Amino acid sequence: MRSLSFEKFSFPFSNSTKIREALKLQVMPYSAAGDLEIFPVVISKAGRNSEGIVWYVSPDELNIPVYENSNNKIWPAPLGFVSQLEKSGGNGVTLWADEENISSILWQNYLPVLSRWHKNSDGDSVTHELGWYDKYCSSQNFDRGENFTVSFISKSDDQRPNADYLDFGEIVNESVRLCPWLAELNLSRTALESSMGLERNLGFLTRAACWLLFMGAIMLGAEIFEWNKLQDKTQEIRLRSEKYYREVFDSTHTGRISNPVTLARDRISELKGSGNITHGLEEVLADFGDIFSNESYDVTIDTVRYNSEGFDCTGSAHDMTTILNFRKAWEDKAKLSQLDNTQSVSGVGYRFDLRVRW
């Protein structure tokens, strides 16, 4: 890849789509010189921040034949040999030379700094290339490190001393171990199309999700509006029912009335004298005596309203536990024992209304 170049990047976000868009904006001023494909690789993340290296390649150099449905990755030739610079801490030059090309990468701390390509014109081209790196590192205050050269300049054994015994597989595996980000790099058209396809799908899904969110927000707002209207109407009916109950039956009643319709029905039944009396007043009073004699309830009964179906009483106690125990004591004597209204009263404790039905 003769046009290959790269540079570091650092952004306050780690989303791959945002990174690619930001890098496209950075290289836009140079697009007049020709098309350029970008391959960002994130090396590290810290919170929302991300750092990495972006690789720039001409589209004309991506037409590299690969086996169909293969998992092969396309790298520049000297990239996978960085493990051979381990003695110098990942500093130095990895260089690939064959009969036509010299491709090299300068490394600092296992990170690529510079990529170069030259035509292999004579037998001294490799020496000249390494000499150029000596001068460049000196001028830039880089650690020159060591060199690792893979030479395929000739088929003659005496001119390629290291090509026969190198185990490329072990060297590349060791390079990936030292630089895990290498496993994410693939300078191929297939990888580029896959990434761009993923971005298009994410863009479509994002727009669809935003549209659904917008519609959902509208529907939620409408439901909340209807719910508030229903709550207001319910509250209006409740207050009107309490008002009618006080006006007709009990003008002295203070506080909330939990079930004015049921109480009104009971009062009407009491006034009409209808219903089958299954529990007389004497029995009710006997039940009161039985409850207060068996248990020590610190309860004061203010009023008792008796009818054919049961009775309602209003009383007070110092705490809610006493009130709940008093209500529970009536469960064995009646079918229904229910607290209709309980409120805290300063200086008294708690006032309550107890509804008992046979």
Measure the CA–CA gap between 165 and 308, rounded to whole angstroms.
109
Q: Residue 89: what residue type? A: G
In sequence order, the β-bridge partners of residue 343 are 351
pLDDT score for 199: 59
- The model carries a pTM of 0.53
What is the total residue count of the chain? Answer: 358
Task: Return the higher-pLDDT residue of 312 and 67.
Answer: 312
Task: Return the higher-pLDDT residue of 153 and 319.
Answer: 319
Q: Give the number of other Cβ atoms within 10 Å of residue 94's Cβ.
A: 26
Measure the CA–CA gap between 94 and 29, rounded to whole angstroms.
32
Q: Stretch 199-222: mean pLDDT, rounded?
A: 78
Q: With contact defined as beta carbons under 8 Å apart, do 108 and 56 qualify? A: no
Measure the CA–CA gap between 95 and 116, rounded to whole angstroms.
9
Alpha-helix runs per DSSP H in the chain: 16-27, 125-140, 168-178, 189-248, 260-272, 281-294, 320-329
pLDDT score for 159: 47
Q: 293: which 2 tokens?
A: 């004699």
Measure the CA–CA gap between 342 and 107, rounded to whole angstroms.
80
Q: Which of 54, 18, 12 is nearest to 206 (CA)?
A: 18
Task: Return the higher-pLDDT residue of 321 and 189.
Answer: 321
Task: Return the higher-pLDDT residue of 89 and 68.
Answer: 89
In sequence order, the β-bridge partners of residue 307 are 310
pLDDT digits 0-9 by tens, 129-179: 999 999 999 999 999 999 999 988 765 554 444 554 568 889 999 999 999
C-alpha distances (whole Å) from 245 to each of 259, 265, 300, 341 are 10, 10, 25, 15
Q: Stretch 83-97: mean pLDDT, rounded?
A: 93
In sequence order, the β-bridge partners of residue 303 are 314
Rounded to 10 degrees, the C-alpha dihedral 74/54/62/195 comes to 90
Rounded to 10 degrees, the C-alpha dihedral 156/159/162/168 comes to -60
Mean pLDDT of the chain: 83
